[in-house]
Chains A and B, each alone.
Chain A
């Protein structure tokens, strides 16, 4: 810095324009230096993990790492008949080595997700290595288990010789690669993710629409009331907003369950004799999700309404417009930016919802994130979890693109 200043002052021959440009550049650099911590933070906690997830969804190291000789020997295999003796020899060496290194279970697990039962086939065979008394390796393998002579089991290995795979991403949209190498739809009994994605989007849409219906009038009320009353109302909007989601979900269970406050009241009043099922179904999930998402709709809409002068509508009415027409044609268009921002916020956050449907819903209300958690925690299939995460990310980006196309991001007002 000091040298730059010295050159600026010490060289009177430099034209003013150049000096000005240098000064500007220095200021820009200083401004950039201010956001370096933020950029680093984003890089570390956002971009880096996200990239890691994207890579995980295509990574496929298990077979290539565990069975390197087999992979090499399978190179050039035509796939029409079970491979020849050299491949069996390579596999026996690989299995023996992997068994000693305790890595064989990784490949076994990966292959098991291609064909159920492959896991024990690999584990049992690996335990019996090395084969010493068999006439040929091939016969020895088939003697251990006849499946080693069957084509699909070899296709499963051949499909996974590469370090990267489209397996998880295809599975996330209910497709797979068959033995002939074609992309085909998954067996309908195993195809779960596209219907779940559809349901996730549908539920998000319903929540967004209900939030608009409930939030817009409330935001209007907040914006038009005198400061004292609107502040009180605002606190009532914000208090639940600041309460932990988990606490609110638990509270809803207490309120909505069969023996809960609401059902007891309904029965006492005589509206119903049997308790109404309000929780562990769609009703409960929608109630709680709308409750949680409502502030995300109210706040941006309110902030936009606050900036709209009352005089416009008054002027329209005084010029003879019907009050509703004045609202619809003068006031409403001005709130669109807030409404758009609120809807986008609510929709995108709802797409990723996990804990509310998991606690308040039945299996029929589970959204995409439930399956991300399922593959992360229960089956430890992190490739599948990453692929589903990638799918969700993609949907979110598309939504954002559509939104900015329709309304324009410059008009997005987040409060």
Chain B
């Protein structure tokens, strides 16, 4: 047990030196850090949001909206597919009851319709199930029902896209240190450091930004429209600024999917507008539709609300257009960013929000550092008066342990959170446990009449199973904490886990090595412990 070959001494020393090397950058004040040699490791411990200040948002997909959008998309697909040659004549497509259904006018075409629609559904799993179920009821009505596995996959795909869109919206230049990750099946976690007022952040994410251009239905009876009823092939939409309803054709002229860019600018009257540019296909289509509909109004629709319905004075051919509405510079800018980043495939709701100001964190770090240092000193003093020479070894182990925790956190770029500070102090107090177990055992073995060397040997050996078992219980708790916890709590669990590993390492390797080297050199006859 006290036999330490040279290679072992060297490897333990090396591990500790590396750990300390990585711990140093995190402890340097900013001005010193600037002059720190570049070739040395410079990674520092991250500060969690609760210490650095910032905003954390948990977004959840609006399931109802997702289902609605899927139905609408399928409705469009059905219409497009059956309009192709050979054309299948169908009645109005209904999306009532969460299903897409329609009548096939010619009963002999029912099978063709079903076959062609089955072909546009997608296989979901290896089991052969598809994302939509196509059935015929009452011999001529085709009903398409979304399958559960299909909806799940659609949600997964949508959330992946949504994550990227959210990231682009918050950080268009891709330069900020933000976190945007998917959580579970239908959630996105967003962490943005340094934000004090998250309102702007939320309005950026809150907008689905589904932009559509549709023709205004001039044939609609205004009284009917006011009551929310529209002629076949049209729909009633509310005006954005509470200006009543308006009837528009269901068919989308051009949509925001065909945008290549969007910027905030001003129109000739100096009002804030959003300038958009279409891609080639979008520009061609926009040109054609405006050419065919000169002197008719068209509606600019954002998230199912009509922003404005200007008149088409002349064909718009260059693929450039302006969106006017009741914008301020700020809201126009937000819309521009949202449009440029693409529409969200599903509406997202904020279900949890935590914003921490920077002052609180600064205060906490300062107090945390003071408390950690004082706690360490108190424990060191306690160890010294209790174990004498062995207390010195314990103390060295304790300091090395603290440095190793910092070093490992820096290597893994782990975040230090407020509870993490508590974890650190707790670890300082608990880290001596392994040493205490050993030291007490040595005391005991000596009392039993063992010789000096023998009692040290036995002390280390007999204490090791207790050290192992006692630490496993902590690991179990910390792992569960990490698994179920989020943000700050995870930071706490990480510190605990690292602390458990380093404290066992320092006790059974490092301090034992110090003791072994001392014993080898001095050959003590009596132990003061």
Chain A bound to chain B? no
Interface residues of A (CB under 8 A from B): none
Interface residues of B (CB under 8 A from A): none
